[in-house]
Amino acid sequence: MTTTLLLLAADEPRSAEVTDWAARLGWVAGLLLFIALVYWLMRQGWKWRGSLQSALPELPGMPETPGAARLSMSGRYHGSTTAGQWLDRIVAHGLGTRSRAELTLTDAGLHVARPGADDFFVPADRLRGARLDKGIAGKVLAEGGLLVVTWEHGGQLIDSGFRSDRAAEHTDWVEALDSMTDTHTKNDTEGAAR
């Protein structure tokens, strides 16, 4: 008799499982709070890094007469790091903000125009060289896909990464910047010898 009752109970139609909306909404709210906390912590870390780098002086402005453009390039600015340490991002004075960029090299130096971010200028006597590389903080490309310009500011060497819309231009930039650096180094050495 017991087996008959069990078989009859198993044959009866059942209703669909009821969704526990309170539990689901609780999980969704918890997940959204977790995401907001992670975002807030990332933002605080960015601000903290900026305050640690506050000793870096203001960036020089564009001179009134920069001279004729030797080279120009449009592309992307991927950020700046401490020279030789491709993961140590510099965020002070807007150097950590990625953006489109228009680079212009003149006899006075390198002008970086960035729509939506602060422009900056590197005087020719502060340029220390250029190279092709594959990565800078938060951006990794194919070997030689990134133009890295090394310059000195406030007693600190800085690497700034750029990628041209036409990657074939990178080698011309490296040659021009290295030539400009060699010229300034030679002039500084001759001036010190006098």
Residue 125: CB partners within 8 Å, gap ≥ 6?
A: 109, 184, 188
What is the DSSP-derived secondary structure letter of residue 190?
Answer: H
**For residues 180 and 85, what is the distance between their CA atoms, to the nearest angstrom?**
24
- For residues 13 and 85, the model is more confident at 85
36-71 burial, b at 16+ Cβ within 10 Å, e below that, comes to eeeeeeeeeeeeeebeebeebeebeebeeebeeeee
DSSP H or E stretch at residue 55: none
Looking at per-residue pLDDT, the higher value among 115 and 16 belongs to 115
Whether 2 is covered by a domain: the verdict is: no
Rounded distance, CA 152 to CA 123, Å?
9
pLDDT at site 192: 47
How many structural domains comprise the chain?
1
| 110-128: pLDDT as tens digits | 999 998 888 899 999 999 9
Tens digits of per-residue pLDDT, 129-152?
A: 999 988 888 778 878 789 999 999
Position 89 in a domain: yes
Q: What is the pLDDT of residues 30-42, one digit of tens each?
A: 999 999 999 999 9
Q: What's the CATH number where 102 sits?
A: 2.30.29.30
Burial class (CB in 10 A: 0-12, 13-18, 19+), 190: exposed
Per-residue pLDDT averaged across 15-25, rounded? 78
Q: Mean of the per-residue pLDDT values for the chain?
A: 83
Task: Using a pLDDT cut of 90, give the percent of the chain over it.
Answer: 35
Which of the pair, 59 or 190, is modelled with greater confidence? 59
Tell me whether residue 166 is in a domain: yes
Torsion sign across C-alpha atoms 66, 117, 54, 91: negative
- Whole-number pLDDT of residue 193: 46
Does the pLDDT of residue 101 top 90, yes or no? yes
Domain membership of residue 183 as a residue range: 69-193
Instruction: Determine the residue type at 73.
Output: M
pLDDT in the model for residue 89: 87
Q: Specify burial of residue 82 (Cβ count, 10 A radius: 0-12, 13-18, 19+).
A: middle
Average pLDDT over residues 80-98: 86
3-state secondary structure of 59: coil
Q: What is the mean pLDDT of residues 62-76?
A: 86
Q: Is residue 117 included in any domain, yes or no?
A: yes
Query: Which residues are bridge partners to 79 per DSSP?
Result: 161
Tell me: the pLDDT tens digits for 178-193?
888 776 555 554 554 4
Quick check: is 15 in a domain? Answer: no
Q: What average pLDDT does range 62-88 have in this prediction? A: 87
